[in-house]
C-alpha cells in the first residue's frame, strides 16, 4: 500500500468520498472526518453570517446618536436611525406616494396594494402580510406577554410597546417638531402631531364621504357604519367597537391606579390620563380651535369641540334615532331606553345611570362641605354646586337666549328645559296614572308618588324623603340655618325656591296663568291644583267610601272627620276630643275671651261662658 513520498504532507481528501469510503462503517468516522467532509468547505461562505451573528449577541454598542444618545451596534443602523430626526424618507410607494425611511417598511406596505396575506392564524383564520405580525397576533389567543416593565411591572406582547411605555417613566423628549418646536417622547407621537400642521386628508369614507388624515382613523370611523363590536368584556359582557375603548373599560373592574402625579398625589388608571392631568399644573392648553379660538388640554376634547361648529353627530341611537357628538353621550342615552343603572350607592342602594351623579349623591350621606365660595363664604358639597352658586348669585351674565321669546338664561341646560315649554308637548308619560311631564327627571320624581320608596333618610331624626333636595332642605331644620333672605322685608327662608316665590308678593308677579279663565298664580303648583277645577280631575280618592278630592289636603281632612276613630284635637278642661279642628279653634278663642270677662265680675260673660262650654260638649 502506497503511503506517499517521504517529506510530503498528507494527501488532500476529495470533497466526495469514494465508494469504498462510503461503504465503510459510519461509526468509524471521527469528529475530524466530519469536520473536513461537511463543515470546512462552507466556512468561507458562512463567514459574513458568523460576523452578523456575533454582532447580534454582542452587548457593545459603539455607535451613538448625538441627538438622543441612543447607541447601536453598526454604523448602518445608526444612519437609518438618523432619518427619524431628519425626517428623511428615501423609499416611496409608486402607487400611493407614501414614503418610508426603511426599505423593509416599503416592502410590507406594497402588500397592502397587492392584497397578499400568506400568513394565516390557525385559531381564528385571520391572515397577515408578514410572519412577525402573525407571531404577535397569536399572543392574543395565548395571552402571552413576554415583555415586562422593570419599574411598574406592566407586561406587553411586543418589545416596541415596552420601549414606548418606558418613556412614560422618563421626562426625555427627543423628537421635536420643526414647525412649532414641540417635543415628544416617541417618533409615532411626532408623526401624529405633524398632521396638525397639514390640512391634507387623503383617506375618505365610502359611506358618508368624510375624509381623514390617517388610514387608522378611517378604519375606526368605518366601524360606526357597520355597527361591529368585536371586543367583549368577559366580566360584564359589554361590547366595544374599538380596542382602546375595550382596554379602558377593563380598568373599571379593577381599583388599581398605577400612574401617580408627583405634584398632587392624584392617581390614574391610564398613562394618558396622567399626561392630560399634568397640564392642569402647567396650565398648558396646546389644542386651539381655528373657529372660535378656544383652547383645550386634551386632543379628545378638541375634536369633540370641532363637531359643535361642523354640526356633525356621528353616533346614532338604535331606539329613537337621536344622534350625538360623543359616543359616551350615546351610551348614557341608551340607558334611558334599557333602564340600566350600573352605578349603585353603597349606603342606600340607589342606582344611577352616570358615575358623576352617584358621586354627587354620596355627598348627601356626608355632612362635609369642602368647597367654599370666596365671595360670601358659603360652603358646598361639590365643585359643580359651587360653580352654579357663583353664576346664579354673584354674576348677572345670561349668555343663553331663547329664540322664541327672547328670555335669557345663565345655563344652557336651563335654556333647553325652557324651550320644551314652547313646544307644548309633554313627551314623558306615567304608565300608572297617565300624567305627562316636560322632562324625564320630572317623571322620575312623580313616579315616587305611586310608591312608598323614600331613599333619602335623615341621619339625625330618621325622617325619609323621596327627593334629595327635600332632604337637603330638611337638614336646615336641625341646624336652624335659613340662608336665603328677602332684600325688601328681611324674611328668611331655607330654600331658594321659597325665597323666589316670596319675592313675587312684593313685585306682584304672577307668571303662571290659566288657559281656561286667565287667572294667574305665583306658584306653578297652585296653577296645577287650579286646573283640576276646569278638567274635573280628582286624583285623591278615599279608600273607605270612594269619595274623590282635587287636593290631598281635602282628602286628609275628610279622613279625620269621617273615618278616624281618634279625634285629633282635645280640650283638656272637659276631657273631650273633637273631629273638627277649625271649629274647635274658634270656640276655644271665644272661651278664652269669655273667661277673661267673667273674671272681671260681669254676670253676662258668665252666662256666655256656660253656653260655650255646653256647645263644646255637644260637638
Of 16-30, 146-160, 193-207, 241-255, the least confident: 16-30
C-alpha cell at 58: 454582542
pLDDT at 579: 47
Predicted TM-score (pTM) above 0.75: no
Question: What integer is the mean pLDDT of 481-500?
Answer: 83
Residue with cell 378604519: 219
- Greater model confidence, 445 or 135: 135
Let me know if residue 579 belongs to a domain: yes
**Span 81-95, average pLDDT:** 86
Neighbours of 404 (CB within 10 A): 11
Residue, of 558 and 597, whose pLDDT is higher? 558
Q: Which residues contact 5 (CB under 8 A, 6 or more apart)?
A: none
85 inside domain: no
Question: Lowest-confidence range among 31-35, 324-328, 525-529, 534-538?
Answer: 31-35
Does residue 582 lie within any of the structural domains? Answer: yes
Q: Is the pLDDT of residue 264 over 70?
A: yes
Report the C-alpha gap between 385 and 472 in whole angstroms. 13
Spatial distance between the Cα atoms of 58 and 65, rounded to a whole number of angstroms: 19
Q: b/e for 226-241, b at 16 or more Cβ within 10 A?
A: eeeeebeeeeeebebb
Name the grid cell of 350: 340607589
Residue 15 has pLDDT above 70, yes or no: no
Classify residue 593: in a domain, yes or no: yes
Q: Is residue 594 part of a domain?
A: yes
pLDDT exceeds cutoff 70 at 7? no
Count of the separate structural domains present in the chain: 1
What length does the chain have?
619
In a domain, 499, yes or no: no
**Which residues neighbour 539 within 8 Å (Cβ) at sequence distance 6 or greater?**
433, 532, 548, 550
Domain of 612 in residue numbering reads as 565-618
- The CA dihedral of 241, 245, 246, 250, to the nearest 10 degrees, is -160
Report residue 459's pLDDT band, with 50, 70 and 90 as the boundaries: confident
Reply yes or no on whether the pLDDT at 598 is more than 60: yes
The predicted model gives 148-155 an average pLDDT of 85
> Higher-confidence residue: 589 or 244?
244
Confidence of residue 21 (pLDDT cuts 50, 70, 90): very low
Q: Which residue has the higher pLDDT, 503 or 31?
A: 503
C-alpha dist (Å) from residue 86 to 79, 89, 91, 181 = 11, 9, 14, 14
Would you state the pLDDT for residue 1?
A: 40
Q: Is 288 left (phi over 0), alpha (psi -120 to 50) or beta?
A: beta
Mean pLDDT, the chain, integer: 76
Amino acid at each position: 500500500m502506497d503511503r506517499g513520498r517521504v517529506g510530503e504532507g498528507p494527501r488532500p481528501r476529495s470533497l466526495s468520498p469514494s465508494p469504498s469510503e462510503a461503504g465503510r462503517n459510519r461509526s468509524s468516522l471521527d469528529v475530524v472526518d466530519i469536520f473536513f467532509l461537511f463543515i470546512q468547505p462552507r466556512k468561507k461562505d458562512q463567514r459574513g453570517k458568523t460576523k452578523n451573528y456575533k454582532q447580534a449577541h454582542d452587548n457593545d454598542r459603539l455607535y451613538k446618536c448625538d441627538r438622543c444618545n441612543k447607541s447601536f451596534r453598526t454604523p448602518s443602523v445608526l444612519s437609518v436611525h438618523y432619518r427619524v430626526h431628519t425626517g428623511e424618507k428615501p423609499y416611496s410607494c409608486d402607487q400611493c406616494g407614501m414614503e418610508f425611511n426603511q426599505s423593509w417598511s416599503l416592502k410590507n406596505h406594497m402588500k397592502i396594494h397587492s392584497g397578499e396575506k400568506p400568513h394565516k392564524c390557525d385559531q381564528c383564520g385571520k391572515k397577515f402580510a408578514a410572519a412577525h405580525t402573525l407571531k404577535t397576533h397569536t399572543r392574543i389567543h395565548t395571552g402571552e406577554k413576554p415583555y415586562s416593565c422593570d419599574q411598574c411591572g406592566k407586561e406587553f406582547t411586543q418589545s416596541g410597546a415596552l420601549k414606548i411605555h418606558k418613556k412614560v417613566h422618563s421626562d426625555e423628549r427627543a423628537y421635536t417638531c420643526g414647525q412649532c418646536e414641540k417635543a415628544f417622547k416617541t417618533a409615532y407621537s411626532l408623526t401624529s402631531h405633524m398632521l396638525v400642521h397639514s390640512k391634507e386628508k387623503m383617506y375618505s369614507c365610502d359611506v358618508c364621504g368624510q375624509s381623514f388624515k390617517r388610514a387608522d382613523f378611517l378604519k375606526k370611523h368605518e366601524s360606526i357604519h357597520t355597527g361591529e363590536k368585536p371586543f367583549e368584556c368577559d366580566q360584564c359582557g359589554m361590547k366595544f367597537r374599538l380596542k382602546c375603548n375595550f382596554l379602558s373599560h377593563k380598568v373599571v373592574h379593577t381599583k388599581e391606579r398605577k400612574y401617580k402625579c408627583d405634584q398632587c398625589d392624584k392617581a390614574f388608571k391610564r398613562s394618558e390620563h396622567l399626561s392630560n392631568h399634568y397640564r392642569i399644573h402647567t396650565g398648558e392648553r396646546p389644542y386651539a380651535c381655528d373657529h372660535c379660538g378656544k383652547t383645550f388640554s386634551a386632543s379628545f376634547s378638541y375634536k369633540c369641540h370641532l363637531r359643535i361648529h361642523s354640526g356633525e353627530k356621528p353616533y346614532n341611537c338604535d331606539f329613537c334615532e337621536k344622534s350625538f357628538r360623543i359616543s359616551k353621550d350615546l351610551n348614557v342615552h341608551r340607558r334611558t331606553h334599557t333602564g340600566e343603572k350600573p352605578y349603585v350607592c353603597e349606603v342606600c342602594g340607589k342606582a344611577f345611570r352616570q358615575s358623576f351623579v352617584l358621586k354627587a349623591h354620596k355627598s348627601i350621606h356626608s355632612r362635609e362641605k369642602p368647597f367654599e365660595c370666596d365671595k360670601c363664604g358659603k360652603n358646598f358639597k361639590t365643585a359643580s354646586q359651587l360653580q352654579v352658586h357663583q353664576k346664579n348669585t354673584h354674576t348677572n351674565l345670561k349668555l343663553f337666549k331663547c329664540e322664541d321669546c327672547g328670555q335669557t338664561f345663565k345655563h344652557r341646560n336651563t335654556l333647553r328645559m325652557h324651550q320644551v315649554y314652547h313646544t307644548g308637548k309633554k313627551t314623558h308619560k306615567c304608565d300608572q296614572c297617565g300624567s305627562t311631564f316636560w322632562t324625564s327627571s320630572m317623571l322620575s320624581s312623580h313616579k315616587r308618588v305611586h310608591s312608598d320608596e323614600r331613599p333619602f333618610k335623615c341621619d339625625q331624626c330618621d325622617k325619609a324623603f323621596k327627593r334629595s333636595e327635600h332632604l337637603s332642605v330638611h337638614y336646615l331644620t336641625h341646624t336652624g340655618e335659613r340662608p336665603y333672605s328677602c332684600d325688601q322685608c328681611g324674611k328668611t327662608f331655607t330654600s331658594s325656591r321659597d325665597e323666589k316665590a316670596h319675592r313675587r308678593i312684593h313685585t306682584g308677579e304672577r307668571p303662571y296663568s290659566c288657559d281656561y279663565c286667565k287667572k294667574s298664580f305665583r306658584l306653578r303648583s297652585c296653577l296645577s291644583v287650579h286646573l283640576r277645577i276646569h278638567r274635573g280631575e280628582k286624583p285623591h280618592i278615599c279608600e273607605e267610601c270612594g269619595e274623590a278630592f282635587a287636593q290631598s289636603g281635602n282628602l286628609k281632612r275628610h279622613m279625620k272627620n269621617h273615618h278616624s276613630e281618634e279625634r285629633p284635637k282635645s280640650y283638656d278642661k272637659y276631657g273631650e276630643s273633637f273631629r273638627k279642628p277649625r271649629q274647635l279653634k274658634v270656640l276655644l278663642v271665644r272661651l278664652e275671651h269669655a273667661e277673661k270677662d267673667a273674671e272681671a265680675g260681669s254676670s253676662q260673660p258668665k252666662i256666655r261662658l256656660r253656653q260655650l262650654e255646653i256647645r263644646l260638649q255637644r260637638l
